[in-house]
Amino acid sequence: MREKLFEIKGLKTYFNIGGQTAKAVDGVDFDIYKGEILGVVGESGSGKSVSLLSLIQLIPNPPGEVTDGEITFNGENIFNGDELKRIKAVPQYRFFNKLDVSKRTGVAFLFMVAWLVLHLVLPISGFIPFLISMLLMTGVTWYLFFNSPRKRHERSFREKMYTRMRQIRGSEIAMIFQEPMTSLNPVYTIGMQIIEAIKPKSFGEMVKDRIIDLAASFRNTRWVNKVRASVIAAVLFIFFGQLGTGWSFQFTQLISQALWGAALPLVLGYLMVGLDKLIPKEYHEEYVDLQRQGIKLLDQVGIPSPETRLKDYPHQFSGGMRQRVMIAMALAKKPSLLIADEPTTALDVTIQAQILELMKEIKDQREDAAIVLITHDLAVIAETCERVIVMYGGKIQEVAEVKELFDNPLHPYTKGLLGSIPTPELQKKARLQAIRGMVPNILNLPEGCKFCTRCDVKIDKCDSVDPPLMEVTPGHLVRCHLVIDEMLEQQNAPVSVSE
């Protein structure tokens, strides 16, 4: 068996939607091995994206939260749900814990009113004593009603986790998103964004880079064009100058306006060149080196003439090229895991083929790197992946090697998905074996098997008991009562299934 890169155990991610809990990911266990392409497939709302986003703690909190589970990355524990649970066990408030959160504000308000009423009885007079009393009141109210040791623990827990995650994200785990246009910043050039992925830059450094760029472009401009810019500026200065002076056309005025105008582009240009000289030489070298790295990255993902494309903006690229840029950015720090969330859904089939081919090439180049491909397209899975996870209702329903899954699907849901896509064997215009009904509301998932509302072969206990994920043959795991029962019957083993 290959070495494990990621080990995920009992991962749970819940969202709080208007007081109700949506169990987007509800106890997911899986491993990611080094050097594999793992496919995660499921319909929208099955929790496939959320479970991978939870890995790198990219769940917006609130409303979402990774509430439980254990994530081990390369032997290092990067998230421990037990610790979070221990923190959650700490009482939320220091006093009056039985008081409901909604009532708490009201009670605190009453307490403050009582304090104010006390002023009528007690002999407190004068502005300063009153002010002191008010400050005291605020402090005491906060201490009694809103002082929360749990919050403090939670904050320090998250701070520690996020600090570590910030080091991991981008450098160890990189992500490619579905819509490349929304993931790229339209106001920066591709070059700036790629270089930022290699080395984050401060504001000052970005100003320096801009100066270097401008100085270089001024130096590279031919004199004919410099003179042309001066003439244009002179004409504009004369026009607006005369507009200001009421079209007087005085000779001296015209001359001075023309001179100012002609000088301006040159002055600005030489100012940039001068500032450029002030920047230390090491920074220049580093800048050139980063540019070279950026060019190399773009070249690696197959963008033609990367030197000139580096200076272009995202809107000048086509969809497929933008996705290549995204992949180049993701590869910048040679990550050991690349998560691709529907990387080809927004692209045409021919471009999709190019991108999938590119991802396979990347995998071949880097032996120990893993790729996780999240998609709803089983055909894409069949083409690219080695192992597949099928998700439904926030739980893993089936895990298998790709050939095993397509040849011998066991879960009714997987069978339904495979029956939904037309295949050459199917007779033309024959009805497709669609799954009936629709995906249940995530706030209101069935108690037992998550698929029982749409399943054609369900038995009585499917409604009430959620089946465990069982290994049927080595490497092939299924969560289905029927399959498990059949397997146990064949083995004639006593029924002892641990959850």
Partner 1 sequence: MSDKQKLVDVKNLKVHFPLFGGVLSRRVATVKAVDGISFSIKRKETIGLVGESGCGKTTVGRALVAILRQLYPDVEIDGSITYNFNGKSVDFARLKPRELRKYRSKVQMIFQDPFASLNPRMTVAQIISEPLQLHTKMNDSEMKDRVGWLLDKVGLQPEQAYRYPHEFSGGQRQRVGIARALATNPDLIICDEPVSALDVSIQAQVINLMMDLQEEFGMSYLFIAHDLSVVEHIADRIAVMYLGNVVEFGESSTVYYDPRHPYSKALLSAVPRPDPHRQRESRIVLEGDVPTPLNKPSGCGFRTRCPLAEKSCAEEIPVLEEHALEHWVACPIVKEKNAG
Burial class (CB in 10 A: 0-12, 13-18, 19+), 112: middle
Q: Which residue has the tokens 């083993």?
A: 493
438 sits near partner 1 (criterion: CB under 8 A): yes
Which of 423, 444, 490, 496 binds partner 1 (CB under 8 A)? It is 423
Q: How far is the CB of 327 from partner 1 (least distance, A)?
A: 16
d(CA 238, CA 257): 5
Taking every pair of Cα atoms in the chain, the longest distance, rounded to a whole number of angstroms, is 110
Question: Do the beta carbons of residue 25 and residue 13 sit within 8 Å?
Answer: yes
Task: Tell which positions 21-60 bind partner 1, by CB under 8 A.
Answer: 43-44
- Out of 351, 472, 487, 488, the residue judged to bind partner 1 by CB under 8 A: 351
Instruction: Write the DSSP symbol of residue 222.
Output: -
Span of 164-172, 228-236, 270-278, 375-383 interacting with partner 1 by CB under 8 A: 375-383
| Residue 443 binds partner 1, judged by CB under 8 A | no
Q: Does 357 bind partner 1 (CB under 8 A)?
A: yes
Piece of 165-173, 240-248, 325-333, 376-384 that binds partner 1 (CB under 8 A): 376-384
Residue whose pair of structure tokens reads 């699907």 in the numeric block: 409
**Closest distance to partner 1 from the beta carbon of 426 (Å):** 7
- One-letter identity of residue 421: I
Contact flag: residue 456 with partner 1 (CB under 8 A): no
Among positions 175, 194, 215, 321, the unique one binding partner 1 when judged by CB under 8 A: 321
Shortest spacing between CB 141 and partner 1, in angstroms: 43
Q: Which stretch binds partner 1 (CB under 8 A): 147-155, 252-260, 279-287, 348-356?
A: 348-356
Neighbours of 201 (CB within 10 A): 15
DSSP state letter for 202: -
**CA-based radius of gyration for the chain:** 32
Q: Quick one: 272 or 340, whose CB is closer to partner 1?
A: 340
Q: CA 440 to CA 304: how far, in whole Å?
A: 46
Asked if 63 touches partner 1 (CB under 8 A), the answer is: no
Asked if 303 and 324 count as a contact pair (C-beta separation under 8 A), the reply is: yes
Please, what is the minimum distance in Å from the beta carbon of residue 386 to partner 1?
9
Task: Give yes or no for a contact between 56 and 173, defined as CB atoms under 8 angstroms apart.
Answer: yes
Binding residues (CB under 8 A) for partner 1: these are: 43-44, 304, 318, 320-321, 348-354, 356-357, 376-383, 402-403, 406, 416-424, 426, 428-429, 431-436, 438-439
